[in-house]
Chain A
Amino acid sequence: MDSMAELVMTVLFFVLFTAVPLYFWYKIGKHFENKHYVSIKEREARFSKLPFSPSDTIDETRHVESIMLVTGQVVIGSDPFKRYIASLVNLVGGRISVFEAPLDRARREAVLRMKESAAKMQADEVINFRMDTMSVGHNAGGEPMGIVEVVAYGTAIRYARQ
């Protein structure tokens, strides 16, 4: 009887102080994620006509008017829900699906920003496209903060107009 009451208290404690806050953080994170995806899709449609490729070949038949290095970089943070679940998955192993969406958002956003700066110089295409990641989101000696950083860069080419 007493141990039953203790079990109920433990479960209640867990729900109140762990599950409810986690759900709250999950909802907040989901809200910003959805908002970001709406913006990503809208801009991807807008810039879909601008070709970009990792190859270094250009259209030899046309005269190149100008070239420029274009970059896009983005840093996306995580929320306590993602960090908590990721740390738990890290105990038992398995895919950390909570960080898939932030990484996907960061990658697409970085490409979009690169394309945006290429569009500013009215480029016809981006060649030598590369992507990179770096670590700015680690405080010295502390816990990793679950921050996703992506840099996309390439050479924007503008051909001479006939």
Chain B
Amino acid sequence: MKFVARLVEEDENINVSPYSTFSAGLRVMFQVVLLGLGVYLVLGLLVDFVVPYIPPSWEDALAAPIMEEVSATRKNTDNFKTAEIQQLLDSLADKIENNSRKFKVSVVVEKDINALALPGGHIVIYSELLEQIESENELAMVLAHELGHFVSRDHLRGLGRSFLFFIVANVFLGDSSATKSLMNSSGILQNNYSREQEYAADAFALHLLVKHYGHSGGASDFFTRLAARESLPDLVHYLSTHPASAKRIKAIEQLTANNHYQIGSVKPVFWKSAPQAEATSTSEK
């Protein structure tokens, strides 16, 4: 038996694939992205299909941990007379047809202009939003807008989609703490509704406002004020999830004209009726 010495040449090394691993990597990335999109689309459609049939009791069970998260990380404030906001909300909810649900409002200290519709009928309003409100009618419009999300169950759709987003992100980034914090900070609490859902909620809110006050005065005031400030950086966040205020104002005005709604005078907001000095001192807390 004789030993034959043989050297492995580059082009005949069958143990290493001859193609570039980088292009192979790009190819597999493309495949995974396609797969992820497919899963997201299919499950997204599934969420839309299932959501209308979720009983409220399930929703309340789902709500408990989310509300815990909200109350654990945010501070409640009573600077804006939450009890009276609740009264306004209740009277608005009474005017929704076929509604047996109770809704609960809470005000948290936050620098963003935002309001959230969370599972279990919880509406969370950020204090900065209330700072911008000038009349009761505007506040009713904001509350009615969130009620609109509840009625079309957008809040559950949003949750379902964030949950999907979480799964897809998990696949790409791994089960890391980064994924979890992403889920906690933006996924659950930042229900990203589509523009269509926002317009539908606006339309619902406008009709409810007219039912409550008999006219649509103040409906677009809040958005007009936002539109005037739209270049400010703290609004970037709000605008990224909501249609541009100018477009919403236009849509609301269009609806008002089409339905021949009267535009009456607005009521002052209840927390501003207190002396100015006291109002500023409490808001600084």
Contacts and interface: CB of A to CB of B under 8 A. Distances in A.
Contact of A88 (B3, B22, B29): B29
A95 B17 contact: yes
A81 B20 CA distance: 13
B178 interface: no
Interface stretch (A45-53, A61-69, A130-138, A148-156): A45-53
A119 interface: no
A92 interface: yes
Contacts of B279: none
B273 interface: no
Contacts of A49: 5
Contact of B22 (A26, A95, A103): A26
A22 interface: yes
Given A26-B22, A85-B24, A44 B8 contact: yes
Interface in B9-26: 10, 13, 15-17, 19, 21-22, 24-26
B21 A85 contact: yes
Interface string B16-43: 1101011011101101100100000000
Contacts of B1: 55, 57
Contacts, number: 68
Contacts of B21: 26, 81-82, 85, 97-98, 101
Nearest to B17: A97
Contacts of B83: none
B7 interface: yes
B17 A100 contact: yes
A23 interface: yes
A23 B22 contact: yes
Contact of B24 (A22, A52, A84, A97): A97
A89 interface: yes
A36 interface: no
A91 B16 contact: no
B46 interface: no
A22 B25 contact: yes
A94 interface: yes
B5 to A, nearest CB: 4
Please tell me the size bucket of the interface on B: 20 to 34
Nearest to B31: A92
A44 B7 contact: yes
B171 interface: yes
B7 A94 contact: no
A17 to B, nearest CB: 12
Contact of A98 (B24, B32, B35): B24
Given A45-B7, A88-B32, A104 B16 contact: yes
A153 B174 CA distance: 38
Contacts of A57: 1
A116 interface: no
Given A26-B21, A84-B25, 9 more contacts: A81-B25, A85-B21, A85-B24, A85-B29, A87-B174, A89-B28, A91-B171, A97-B17, A98-B21
10 contacts: A37-B10, A44-B8, A48-B6, A52-B3, A85-B28, A91-B32, A91-B171, A97-B16, A97-B17, A125-B3
Q: When A and B form their complex, which 10 residue pairs have the shortest distance between CB atoms, in order from nearest?
A: A51-B3, A85-B25, A48-B5, A97-B17, A98-B21, A100-B16, A104-B15, A26-B22, A88-B28, A104-B16
Interface of B: 1, 3, 5-8, 10, 13, 15-17, 19, 21-22, 24-26, 28-29, 31-32, 35, 171, 174, 195
Interface of A: 2, 19, 22-23, 26, 37, 41, 44-45, 48-49, 51-53, 55, 57, 81-82, 84-85, 87-89, 91-92, 94-95, 97-98, 100-101, 103-104, 107-108, 125, 143
